[in-house]
């Protein structure tokens, strides 16, 4: 079902639509690598690894350094804010690593999940604060090496997220 976002210009709506179509092109999907520090703590503790920024970076490096065959099935990768500024062991930003595979990079802009009233344990995302065009999102277009998908691709996810 198409969405109507009156705050977006016709050009922005087309750009958002083009990004969405690129991310979910036939045979492709989204790699959600947007685990928060708390979620990563749970994941790392299961394998006896301390939850430090360096260990989270190393985990992501393994994930993002998969060979180029992944570009056949991944159209977009969602980053957690911390990941946006991390680099691999050679100093290459993870953003560039992903983009060089022809995959769009996005950043999580919602504030996590909250209980959905009137349901039996369902949750919904708490949207960006206070709006998708607020200052916390605006700086994303100035991140070196990024493309327009970095913000709009995740705004699409955040704006279209329904009950989970």
Q: 110-144, pLDDT tens digit by residue?
A: 777 788 899 998 988 776 655 544 444 444 444 44
CA nearest to 154, candidates 100, 96, 95: 95
pTM of the model: 0.71
Domain locations along the chain: 10-160
Residue 145: count of CB within 10 angstroms of its CB: 12
Q: Which residues pair with 32 in a beta bridge?
A: 78
In whole angstroms, what is the distance from residue 56 CA to residue 39 CA? 11
CATH architecture under which domain 10-160 falls: Alpha-Beta Barrel (3.20)
Token digits for 154?
């995740």
Quote the distance between the C-alpha of residue 94 and its chain's center. Answer: 12
């Amino acid at each position: 079902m198409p969405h109507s976002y009156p705050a977006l210009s016709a050009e922005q709506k087309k750009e958002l639509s083009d990004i969405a179509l690129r991310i979910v092109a036939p045979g492709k999907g989204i790699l959600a690598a947007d685990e928060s520090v708390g979620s990563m703590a749970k994941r790392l503790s299961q394998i006896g690894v301390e939850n430090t920024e360096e260990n989270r970076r190393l985990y992501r490096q393994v994930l993002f350094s998969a060979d180029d065959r992944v570009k056949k099935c991944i159209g977009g990768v969602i980053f957690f804010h911390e990941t946006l500024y991390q680099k691999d062991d050679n100093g290459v930003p993870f953003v560039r690593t992903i983009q060089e595979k022809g995959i769009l990079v996005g950043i999580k802009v919602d504030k996590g999940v909250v209980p959905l009233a009137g349901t039996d344990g369902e949750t919904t995302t708490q949207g960006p604060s206070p709006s998708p065009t607020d200052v916390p999102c605006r700086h994303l277009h100035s991140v070196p090496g990024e493309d327009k998908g970095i913000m709009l691709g995740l705004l699409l996810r955040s704006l279209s997220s329904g009950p989970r």
